[in-house]
Structure 1
């Protein structure tokens, strides 16, 4: 199956015009149905993947004879997941696999969850290859919690995969489960807590599995000593420093390692002793001092005395909600800390209480403010706009898509030297028509595209862009197009 990019690359101008009509909020339902039935593949792809759809159109997608068309809808991030879930028993393997893989998005946003009964249906009827994508990202927290003790044995197999977070009672029940597959899965997870088993499976050459073992699994003393004296790769002591099961003497040893990256890894550990903390707090490497400055053992006064520098070149983006939320008191402690990075940790929370939300919204650290804007559902319009104007790092483009991002008052940004800021004026219905028309000729392609969709685009320029090789799709998606014009443009479709 060709990729989305390949399909679009092959689309000619008339097809791209039809794709724009597929996105136009003014396009009537009967025209959308005609596009679904008769439009070329690229236009059907845009229709089924890149917008929400009226219920009648979704009904027609579900029964569409073309596998690729149904597959596009399986990856649509804009429709209610319950509508995508109607494809759960699709006759084609490809459609089912795409449904399991999840919506196609341009960022790392966690997709909206599929209905629990749909997930259970997939677990019971799909093969391992179909479930090998990102189904886990579409499972609700409630279902994840229920899987280890679910009446359905195939659900319990999935639940056993969360072995590290399960209670001793639940683990014991899974190990004694009446179902063979559940017991096998539980035993397979449990054996990775046996240091002898881990040692027997330890690769003898550098690879992802070897590094993963060093970081995540309990290690025998013989294995630890072997890595310390004869590492197979240059970064293995650093990986070892992250292992939560290290004995105290090894922690002490690595806290004084000559490699600053090893000391930085050790500085994050909760089991550091007072001597190691004091030594790391005056470490010659600034990254080590920064890492240890976050240690929970410090009082605020002690933390302030550490010579650390807060980095500003980090990504301040979206953080998915945790399956197990942090303790509210820990969040409050971080939010009230004098350390900007601890406040940044608090700012990632989606459910900050009102007083902390108000406090962090006006924090003097850019990272704190932007993280609130990126993650809190009640981030204000003022904060969202300020964050977009001040933050130019990765995931900046996500901010204008947040629910409260403003539209009014953006016209003055039309002449900003930053093209991403200029494009904001395309969101303002009050941007003057002459400005809209001028910016469809902007040097930046994203700015041109944004203003080609502005409903205030002068009619003559809009008509001109409907035949423009670059901007035809955006012009055809312009809601200022009248229904009669839309029907005339759609008349280019072949008669079925």
Structure 2
């Protein structure tokens, strides 16, 4: 792979005439980078496809090709991509529905807006993979028809399809009103009863660990129920009975549904598996009483997930901030706090609570500045990227808290060029800060030269347009391919060098 040419192909400043020259000499890797260009013309896209068919799919999905540009026989993957985008021709769908290559029929089955005769043909396909793919994406009418399919794998796909009618999903999850399935992927291949060894040594085996069939296709039926539980179109009344199901996977899926009645939520809150309770803890269906009960649940991840509940009371959130590790993230309840609540959070004696508030980027200046002067470094780290902080205040953060806040200060969108230069020279150096500075649009040449000394920041800095021209040119020969490629993609690369690279390709 020629990494310099790949970088050059992605360079946004590359003149159109140089793009034409690159198309003429591009290998598959360079062609892939050219296909990603935002300024690639239709004529250039067609020329690129004529040399490298592999990029046709990429260009088709990007809207750079039309049906007139594609031959479905010579470029089947591109034609299928256009059908998938809804801009292919109906006759192509009929062509692929009879294609001997099953992968093409399978891809066609995932396309929307297919002619009715094509849908009927795919629904009767001899390969279960095609029927399954159709069931997963098809219309309500066809999904209802495929729910009665004799193959359990097709029914599983219907259960996952959100277009499936609610009444049909209710039948799939309970089994009532449907004839029993006659086959599944397990009994298609193995004599029953059979349980797939989780440590199966066969390299050509694609059954999942624990897949089983004793004639009732139990593992596929179980997965069908799980898909229906996860499907928001499945009626509430059809799912509530699973609250005490022996399968933890089904109870886990049920716990995520936002339409659960209070009694079911209460039942799941007492589930013996912490994963079920943790999923429930984040569910907006639970009320304040259950939130307070779960706040003292020390099961794995329950308290952390509860902190992400959109309606957690602030006093509970304050408790959770001290009881579990939430991390630096903007919680939904913090994001939705009222002005009065913001003031209350800002004056909390719990530094972890002030840190959570500091993740907001719309704080009133008075509160923002107060948090910026907080004596706790984790609070200052969270507020440091907040827009509107003065340079004097940003520098004061570094003076007070040193290496603990340097990277976050460098991430401030209004950090001045001079401040970034000083942060790049900070002693002791902060490795993460180099990567942040290299991404900052205000970074200057002196700051970027400092970033080049760090292995991880070097390829980022090599692509920054403020880097001196001569340094960019020197980096084209760097031993690290990511650095050379980034330098070639740098929009400040001199046009004369671009021309030389293209003409020598």
Normalised by the size of structure 2, how large is the TM-score? 0.54
Residue 412 in structure 1 maps to residue 397 in structure 2: no
Residue number in structure 1 paired with 2:434: 422
1:97-112 equivalences under 5 Å are none
Count of aligned positions = 378
Residue number in structure 1 paired with 2:21: 34
Residue number in structure 2 paired with 1:170: none
Residue number in structure 2 paired with 1:60: 44
Aligned to 1:265, the other structure's residue is in SS state helix
Give the Cα separation in 2 of the matches to 1:366 and 1:304. 16
Residue 129 in structure 1 maps to residue 139 in structure 2: no
Match of 1:87 among 53, 58, 65: 65
Shift, 1:189, TM fit: 1.8
Shift, 1:455, TM fit: 5.4
1:429-472 deviations in Å (ceiling 9; x for gaps): 63239x73x765x3515415623766544738834744757344
Residue number in structure 1 paired with 2:225: 210
1:331-410 equivalences under 5 Å are 331=336, 333=338, 336=341, 408-409=417-418, 410=420
Aligned to 2:275, the other structure's residue is in SS state helix
Shift, 1:489, TM fit: 2.9
CA contact (8 A) 1:74 1:98 kept: yes
Shift, 1:99, TM fit: 6.7
Residue 46 in structure 1 maps to residue 60 in structure 2: no
Shift, 1:71, TM fit: 4.0
Please provide the CA RMSD for this pair: 5.7
| Structure 1 unmatched runs, 5+ | 1-10, 76-83, 102-118, 136-151, 156-179, 318-325
Shift, 1:87, TM fit: 1.5
Distance 1:356 1:449, change over 3 A: closer
Aligned to 1:85, the other structure's residue is in SS state coil
Tell which structure's C-alpha radius of gyration is larger: 2
Distance 1:191 1:271, change over 3 A: closer
CA contact (8 A) 2:90 2:115 kept: yes
Distance 1:490 1:284, change over 3 A: closer
Residue number in structure 2 paired with 1:190: 165
Give the Cα separation in 2 of the matches to 1:249 and 1:295. 19
1:336-395 deviations in Å (ceiling 9; x for gaps): 4667999979989xxx9x77899789878979997997xxxx966989x99xx97999xx
Distance 1:191 1:342, change over 3 A: farther
Residue 257 in structure 1 maps to residue 271 in structure 2: yes
Shift, 1:195, TM fit: 3.5
Residue number in structure 1 paired with 2:446: 432
CA contact (8 A) 1:242 1:266 kept: yes
Give the Cα separation in 1 of the matches to 2:164 and 2:272. 36
Give the Cα separation in 1 of the matches to 2:358 and 2:165. 34
Q: Once structures 1 and 2 are overlaid, which stretch shifts more, 481-490 or 458-467?
A: 458-467
Distance 1:334 1:276, change over 3 A: farther
Give the Cα separation in 1 of the matches to 2:59 and 2:369. 38
CA contact (8 A) 1:336 1:343 kept: no
CA contact (8 A) 2:23 2:47 kept: no
**RCO (CA 8 Å, sep 6+): is it higher in 1 or 2?**
1
Normalised by the size of structure 1, how large is the TM-score? 0.54
